[in-house]
Amino acid sequence: MLTSMAAPQARGKKAGDAIFGANRAAVEAAARVGKEFVTNATIGAILDESEKLVCLPTVKKVYQSLPMEEIISYAPIAGLPDFLRDVQDCCFGDCRPEGYTAAVSTSGGTGVIHHVIQNYTCPGDDVLTSDWYWGAYSALCDDNGRHLRTYKLFDDALKFNHKDFQEQVNRMAARQENLVVIINSPAHNPTGYSLTGDDWDQVLDFFRYLAGKGKHVILLADVAYIDYAGDQGRQFFKKFSGLPEEILVIVGYSMSKSFTMYGQRLGAMIGVSSSQSVIQEFSDINSYTSRATWSNNSRGAMACLIRIFEDPMLRSSWKAEQQEYYRLTKERADIFTSEAKQEGLPILPYQAGFFISVPSSDSAAACSELHKENIFLVPLKAGIRIAACAVPCSKMHGMAGKLKKAMENIGQI
């Protein structure tokens, strides 16, 4: 019997992932025992204290006031010119790096990663990120015939592991010309970790050294959670000023979290370089790839960003609303981290952001054991992810103790 019509490279691919699987289990449990008795810490979106999906009120007001033609019309392939200007200011705030910059609109932050992989590596090349990473990175590499490799994010003291980082970059440098490195900071998914200023200095010094040896370094700074990282979250952008021409920084900005417009699928890739021609090429090749993948992006979402950003009143209410949810997420995370400390449950260093991670040798077993308590977390390769963005404070209390107990029950601690 014929079992596949797919071309060889497409056979066996399936989009289902651990996050959606864990969410499904939580939804089923809620239908069985009642929502109030279930903790669903699998969702990567902000829910309020009554577990309703949050839309920032300013975004709701502005989006709903857009003329229908603005929502339904095509946008230029690269994006509306005003969007391409304003999105850079939204992203950098008052920490804009010096150098040539350009933006190209993308289908969310995911689109940025897709284009970087496709246009800055060759088929068969490696792409490097940390061992704790957002699962979509590996699908994006795999689907494009690239390999995702990892360095250890933390050393024994739970600091950024520069030694392993440099070793893994060097390994990649021994076999390929273009080195694409993805760093998701601040407020990393899944750990909530942010590189310190000193970490960034060391990373960039190492890139300067590689550039001096003629290597081309493409740093993808994935800043999907930038607006939930606190006051100091943007300082590192300034360090991208005046880098050698062999280093291209591509910042991946997403409206999914910053505007709570997850399903509107809009983001931007922002190139930063000291070479004007590298930036011209950046605009040209990435717009071309947009034409060849999704064509153009949501004009309504672009118009929404422009209107909010260019009106000082709207801009400040939007910023205040982000702050409110940054504080709420932090408060929830603080409940978990302080209880984890009291209970003696080892967790990874959390600074800010949507998620907290707990290392585990068999995360699936620990998560299933916790299902007995009607608590649903996401099992990852090296541990367990807890979505502080989605769990009300009342349900955050006691979770660390129950997780520790579950891990003890199955002999993990």
Ligand X SMILES: Cc1ncc(COP(=O)(O)O)c(C=O)c1O
In the complex, which residues of this chain contact ligand X (CB under 6 A)? 44, 108-110, 134, 184, 189, 222, 224, 254, 256, 262, 267
Degrees, nearest 5: CA angle 207-209-214:
90
Nearer to ligand X, 129 or 287 (CB): 129
Nearer to ligand X, 86 or 222 (CB): 222
C-beta atoms surrounding 357 within 10 Å: 25
What does the buried/exposed string (b/e) look like for 359-370 if buried means 16 or more CB atoms within 10 Å of the residue's CB?
bbeebebbbebb
Element (H, E) at 253: strand 247-254
Nearer to ligand X, 134 or 240 (CB): 134
CB of 245 to ligand X, least distance (A): 27
Nearer to ligand X, 271 or 353 (CB): 353
CB of 353 to ligand X, least distance (A): 9
Alpha helices, DSSP H, located in 213-362:
255-258, 276-292, 299-310, 312-343
Nearer to ligand X, 104 or 211 (CB): 104
CB of 88 to ligand X, least distance (A): 17
d(CA 207, CA 220) in angstroms, rounded, equals 13
Nearer to ligand X, 256 or 287 (CB): 256
Q: Are 272 and 100 in contact (CB under 8 A)?
A: yes
CB of 355 to ligand X, least distance (A): 8
What does the buried/exposed string (b/e) look like for 93-132 if buried means 16 or more CB atoms within 10 Å of the residue's CB?
eebbbebebbbbbbbbbbbbbbbbbbbbbeeebbbbbbeb
Alpha-carbon torsion angle 287, 290, 291, 294, nearest 10: -160
Please give the order of strands across the beta sheet that includes 267-273: 100-106, 267-273, 247-254, 216-222, 178-184, 126-130, 147-151
CA nearest neighbour of 65 among 316, 320, 314: 314
Q: Helices 312-343 and 57-64: crossing angle, nearest 10°?
A: 140
CB of 12 to ligand X, least distance (A): 24
Output phi, psi for 65, to 5 deg.
-95, 0
Nearer to ligand X, 165 or 339 (CB): 165
Q: Are 26 and 387 in contact (CB under 8 A)?
A: no
Nearer to ligand X, 268 or 345 (CB): 268
CB of 254 to ligand X, least distance (A): 3
Element (H, E) at 178: strand 178-184
CB of 223 to ligand X, least distance (A): 8
CB of 290 to ligand X, least distance (A): 14
Nearer to ligand X, 106 or 273 (CB): 106
Residue with the CB atom nearest ligand X in the bound state: 108
CB of 354 to ligand X, least distance (A): 8
CB of 227 to ligand X, least distance (A): 12
Nearer to ligand X, 44 or 79 (CB): 44
Place of tokens 């493409």: 218
d(CA 64, CA 304) in angstroms, rounded, equals 9
C-beta atoms surrounding 275 within 10 Å: 17
